[in-house]
A and B are shown apart, each in its own frame.
Chain A
Amino acid sequence: MNALAASAAPAIDAAATKELSHLDWLEAEAIHILREVAGQCSRPALLFSGGKDSICLLRLAEKAFRPGRFPFPLLHIDTGHNYREVIDFRDRRAAELGERLIVRSVEDSMARGTVVLKSPGESRNKHQSVTLLEAIEEHGFDACIGGARRDEEKARAKERIFSFRDEFGQWDPKNQRPELWNLYNARSGPGENMRVFPISNWTELDVWQYIERERLELPSIYFAHLRPIVRRNGLLAPVTPVTPAQPGDVVEELQVRFRTVGDITCTAPVESSATTVAAIIEETAVTTISERGATRLDDQTSEASMEQRKKEGYF
């Protein structure tokens, strides 16, 4: 018989009976992954956008490496269409931590001519891939740590925690490295690259619960605030200088919050009165719409669009 669990246990002293909660377990796994990156890769970087997932990553990096410095710089690929509050938060947080922040912008790639927009109004979101690959090449990064989660999207559900990208930054879903136990293989050749996702196994709810438990500070737009909005295809499109109202649009002033804070042109807020993390957790636990479904203005069109973008080098 193979009953190694409860029955086999001798009397356990009080200190040892401390149960790991699901957050403890997720945290321990993520710290282990971050340390594997530090142990196996020679030039890693951590993608930090000022968004909630990467804020969790920073906290996990503190837990993994303090009192030492992080063994990697922070990297942000800025589309130039981000909310001011988020960019300010990004800069302040990096300064508070005393860690190096590298910002590379899609606008620089446009100036270089490596990013060409089909029209001036086209979303710059998908062009981040180009700027990211340029930054990887410039700095010789062999691993980029990101805050993507497997619950976000179908294509991600099959992605490895250590996800290999070829010279063109491409993900080949049919040719992934087997990933067993917690034995991660971060080896890559020149020009190739690993993408590493320490919070792969977290859900949106886990992220919010961790933010609450660790009392992590967030950019203000994650909490309910008044904002001019136009309703489009069942989503709330924010009215901003980058995304002005079109003729015939009805602009409403609504109380909203962002569930995710990406590029202004493709991230929609949701109606909410949640002004605290606890209230957001309450709403997240009972929501009926997935994070991406409720908030993405760009890729609702196709079930397969994320997979397509990842094959092209997207994060």
Chain B
Amino acid sequence: MSASETLTPPAATTASANTIAAATPDSGLLRFLTCGSVDDGKSTLIGRLLYDTRGILADTLHAIERTSQKRGLSAVDLSLLTDGLQAEREQGITIDVAYRYFSTGTRKYIIADAPGHEQYTRNMVTAASTADLAIILIDARRGVLTQTRRHSYLAKLMNIPRLVVAVNKMDLVGYDAARFEEIRADYEAFARQLDIDVRFIPISALNGDMIVERGDSLAWYDGPTLLELLESAPAAHAAGRARHHDALRFPVQYVCRPQDSANPELHDFRGFMGRVEAGSVAVGERVTVLPSGRETRVREIRLLSADSHDSANEGQRARAVTGESVTLLLDDEIDISRGDMIVGPDNAPTVTRRIEAMLCWLSESPLDPRRKYLIRHTTRESKALLDGIDYRIDINSLERQAATQLEMNDIARVSFRLAQPLAVDTYTDQRATGAFIVIDEASNNTVGAGMIG
């Protein structure tokens, strides 16, 4: 059997995917992450999703067919699609987060492909930081493993709104419903501890069962396919939309002062540029500027629309919602610069010089408790000193242990003292204002990721 014969997509799928891809109706964008232990079939699953939604183009397919043949494989190995870098191809493993894209015509997807090896907790944390959903893969033969618990714990820690547990390789257990139920029961027993919201689905990534097509072998399962789960999951901005009644969080990124003396309109222009990270904002609303605490009202909201081409007065809006990057003009002349935050009148964040957080250490050089680090939170930076390590989590047993320093991939509860006040929320309340990174000033490297709470 030649490699290419095994991979002729069903004609009907091809045609319908083509026509939907050409249309552009939009339920927005969903970012998700796949996690699993080595060989659970992550790469195969992603390859299958891309292939069955026509996210793979013919020349790319030919390239992996050639490689499959060169390696003496009897069928095309879809996992080759996601093998990115030379070093990985040589070692035959995935070592860093890669991003993939496909679109169903109704929704655009960004997949973060994070390797599952023990030493790569930091990769999963990185991939999870922007995900709206996580797919946790379980090999049907092996069931719930230590790694499964670890991935679920990290998904919870990173506050991913939705989890899908996909029991893969169902073909290798004879598509047995009882085995699936057994794994589900196992997982639920443990997930109850973590308090997470989970969907379960049986699949065969290799054969494509219950991914995009239902297939014939899992007739006993009457839930949605994996793609249907993805299509109906709330997207980032939809989640944001439901939270538009949350209080406004608008970190100022940049202040626009054109000071164009020839143009009186621009002479006094002061625009505060940033992204609405939470809540929404409307012209006329009262806002507070942090950390100063000064109050004023929103005079204008601007974002050039598709039709407006750069005159000073175009692009005015009545309102901006979560996720939008806009420019705010305020009623009063208040001294505001990058790093300040414009917030709604109620439910203000806490302005503090001390934070407690879960910290994931990302660097090969251990956390040095005596050194000063830099913390970047929204658009603000502050020098920071470690105040203490409460405990470290053993990522396998999920037990707390005493610790005096942190190594790469360690996760711990810590506190920092700060040189500058930060306006913070808890990470579970607001990802954007509850997250921070730690930077090593000597190397300029990003060495830690923190979740306030």
Establish whether residues B18 and A286, one from each chain, have CB atoms under 8 Å apart when the complex forms: yes
**Which of B37-45, B136-144, B182-190, B233-241 is the contact stretch?**
B233-241
B347 contacts A by Cβ under 8 Å = no
Chain A minimum-CB-distance residue to B132? A5
Given A181-B431, A185-B446, A35–B254 Cβ distance below 8 Å?
yes
A253 contacts B by Cβ under 8 Å = no
A241 contacts B by Cβ under 8 Å = no
Given A69-B258, A285-B22, A158–B96 Cβ distance below 8 Å?
yes
Establish whether residues A19 and B237, one from each chain, have CB atoms under 8 Å apart when the complex forms: yes
Establish whether residues B280 and A303, one from each chain, have CB atoms under 8 Å apart when the complex forms: no
Kindly provide the distance from the CB of A204 to the nearest chain B CB, expressed in whole angstroms: 10
Partner of B446, one of A97, A174, A178, A293: A178
Partner of B59, one of A21, A25, A203, A290: A290
In whole angstroms, how far apart are the Cα atoms of A5 and B242 in the complex?
Answer: 6
- Over the window 176-216 of chain A, the binary record of Cβ atoms lying under 8 Å from chain B Cβ atoms (1 yes, 0 no) is 11111111010111000000000011010110010001110
Establish whether residues A180 and B437, one from each chain, have CB atoms under 8 Å apart when the complex forms: yes
Partner of A185, one of B22, B243, B273, B444: B444
Establish whether residues B59 and A294, one from each chain, have CB atoms under 8 Å apart when the complex forms: yes
Enumerate chain A residues within 8 angstroms of B239, measured Cβ to Cβ. 4-5
Enumerate chain B residues within 8 angstroms of A293, measured Cβ to Cβ. 57, 59-60
Given A16-B319, A20-B321, A177-B445, A288–B304 Cβ distance below 8 Å?
no
Q: Could you say which of B26, B162, B254, B324 has the most chain A C-beta atoms within 10 Å of its C-beta?
A: B254
Establish whether residues A151 and B101, one from each chain, have CB atoms under 8 Å apart when the complex forms: yes
Establish whether residues B254 and A181, one from each chain, have CB atoms under 8 Å apart when the complex forms: no
Enumerate chain B residues within 8 angstroms of A69, measured Cβ to Cβ. 258
- Over the window 315-338 of chain B, the binary record of Cβ atoms lying under 8 Å from chain A Cβ atoms (1 yes, 0 no) is 100110101110000000000001
Partner of A157, one of B100, B253, B324, B376: B100
In whole angstroms, how far apart are the Cα atoms of A38 and B325 in the complex?
Answer: 14
- Over the window 146-164 of chain A, the binary record of Cβ atoms lying under 8 Å from chain B Cβ atoms (1 yes, 0 no) is 0000110011011000000
Kindly provide the distance from the CB of A272 to the nearest chain B CB, expressed in whole angstroms: 15
Enumerate chain A residues within 8 angstroms of B274, measured Cβ to Cβ. 32, 35
B206 contacts A by Cβ under 8 Å = no
In whole angstroms, how far apart are the Cα atoms of A31 and B271 in the complex?
Answer: 15
- Over the window 137-169 of chain B, the binary record of Cβ atoms lying under 8 Å from chain A Cβ atoms (1 yes, 0 no) is 000000000000000000010010110000000
A1 contacts B by Cβ under 8 Å = yes
Given A36-B253, A157-B98, A181-B432, A22–B266 Cβ distance below 8 Å?
no
Enumerate chain B residues within 8 angstroms of A155, measured Cβ to Cβ. 84-85
- Over the window 5-29 of chain A, the binary record of Cβ atoms lying under 8 Å from chain B Cβ atoms (1 yes, 0 no) is 1101110100111111111111111
Establish whether residues B323 and A28, one from each chain, have CB atoms under 8 Å apart when the complex forms: yes
Partner of A180, one of B18, B125, B195, B237: B125
Establish whether residues B280 and A16, one from each chain, have CB atoms under 8 Å apart when the complex forms: yes
Enumerate chain B residues within 8 angstroms of A308, measured Cβ to Cβ. 86
**Which of B102-110, B220-228, B383-391, B413-421 is the contact stretch?**
B102-110
Kindly provide the distance from the CB of B101 to the nearest chain A CB, expressed in whole angstroms: 5
Enumerate chain B residues within 8 angstroms of A206, measured Cβ to Cβ. 108
Establish whether residues A67 and B266, one from each chain, have CB atoms under 8 Å apart when the complex forms: yes
Establish whether residues A16 and B58, one from each chain, have CB atoms under 8 Å apart when the complex forms: no
- Over the window 412-447 of chain B, the binary record of Cβ atoms lying under 8 Å from chain A Cβ atoms (1 yes, 0 no) is 000000000000000000011001110100001110
| Total inter-chain residue pairs, C-beta < 8 Å | 247
A287 contacts B by Cβ under 8 Å = yes
Establish whether residues B28 and A19, one from each chain, have CB atoms under 8 Å apart when the complex forms: yes
A65 contacts B by Cβ under 8 Å = yes
Partner of A178, one of B103, B126, B244, B254: B126
Kindly provide the distance from the CB of A154 to the nearest chain B CB, expressed in whole angstroms: 5
A250 contacts B by Cβ under 8 Å = no
Establish whether residues A35 and B273, one from each chain, have CB atoms under 8 Å apart when the complex forms: yes
Partner of B325, one of A8, A64, A179, A288: A64
Given A2-B196, A304-B86, A16–B444 Cβ distance below 8 Å?
no
* Chain B contact residues: helix, strand, loop or mixed: mixed
Establish whether residues A5 and B24, one from each chain, have CB atoms under 8 Å apart when the complex forms: no
In whole angstroms, how far apart are the Cα atoms of A285 and B98 in the complex?
Answer: 23
- Over the window 291-317 of chain B, the binary record of Cβ atoms lying under 8 Å from chain A Cβ atoms (1 yes, 0 no) is 000000000000110110111100100
Enumerate chain A residues within 8 angstroms of B21, measured Cβ to Cβ. 205, 285-286
In whole angstroms, how far apart are the Cα atoms of A15 and B280 in the complex?
Answer: 10
Chain B minimum-CB-distance residue to A288? B58
Kindly provide the distance from the CB of B26 to the nearest chain A CB, expressed in whole angstroms: 4
Establish whether residues B254 and A39, one from each chain, have CB atoms under 8 Å apart when the complex forms: yes
B interface, size bucket? 35 or more
Enumerate chain B residues within 8 angstroms of A22, measured Cβ to Cβ. 26, 28-29, 103, 107-108
Enumerate chain B residues within 8 angstroms of A187, measured Cβ to Cβ. 439, 444
- Over the window 94-129 of chain B, the binary record of Cβ atoms lying under 8 Å from chain A Cβ atoms (1 yes, 0 no) is 011111110100011010000000000010011001
B398 contacts A by Cβ under 8 Å = no
Establish whether residues A35 and B449, one from each chain, have CB atoms under 8 Å apart when the complex forms: no
Number of A interface residues in the complex (CB < 8 A): 84
Establish whether residues B376 and A290, one from each chain, have CB atoms under 8 Å apart when the complex forms: no
Given A12-B244, A293-B59, A307-B85, A177–B234 Cβ distance below 8 Å?
no
Enumerate chain B residues within 8 angstroms of A200, measured Cβ to Cβ. 99
Establish whether residues A66 and B323, one from each chain, have CB atoms under 8 Å apart when the complex forms: no
Establish whether residues A158 and B241, one from each chain, have CB atoms under 8 Å apart when the complex forms: no
Given A1-B195, A63-B304, A174–B318 Cβ distance below 8 Å?
no
Chain A minimum-CB-distance residue to B85? A173
Establish whether residues A39 and B99, one from each chain, have CB atoms under 8 Å apart when the complex forms: no
Enumerate chain A residues within 8 angstroms of B99, measured Cβ to Cβ. 150, 157-158, 200-201
Enumerate chain B residues within 8 angstroms of A24, measured Cβ to Cβ. 237, 323-324
Enumerate chain A residues within 8 angstroms of B130, measured Cβ to Cβ. 180-182
Kindly provide the distance from the CB of A307 to the nearest chain B CB, expressed in whole angstroms: 6
Establish whether residues B362 and A185, one from each chain, have CB atoms under 8 Å apart when the complex forms: no
B400 contacts A by Cβ under 8 Å = no
Kindly provide the distance from the CB of B15 to the nearest chain A CB, expressed in whole angstroms: 10
Enumerate chain B residues within 8 angstroms of A203, measured Cβ to Cβ. 101, 103, 108
Partner of A150, one of B63, B86, B101: B101
Given A173-B87, A187-B444, A15–B258 Cβ distance below 8 Å?
no
A263 contacts B by Cβ under 8 Å = no
Enumerate chain B residues within 8 angstroms of A32, measured Cβ to Cβ. 253, 274-275, 325
In whole angstroms, how far apart are the Cα atoms of A10 and B30 in the complex?
Answer: 23
In whole angstroms, how far apart are the Cα atoms of A287 and B444 in the complex?
Answer: 43
B394 contacts A by Cβ under 8 Å = no
What are 13 inter-chain pairs, A to B, with CB distance below 8 A? Answer: A16-B241, A16-B321, A19-B237, A67-B269, A69-B258, A157-B84, A185-B376, A185-B446, A215-B306, A282-B22, A288-B57, A288-B58, A303-B63
B contact residues vs A (CB 8 Å cutoff): 18, 21-22, 24, 26-29, 57-60, 63, 67, 83-87, 89, 95-101, 103, 107-108, 110, 122, 125-126, 129-130, 156, 159, 161-162, 195-197, 234, 236-239, 241-245, 253-254, 256-258, 266, 269, 271, 273-275, 280, 282, 303-304, 306-307, 309-312, 315, 318-319, 321, 323-325, 338, 362, 376-379, 431-432, 435-437, 439, 444-446, 449
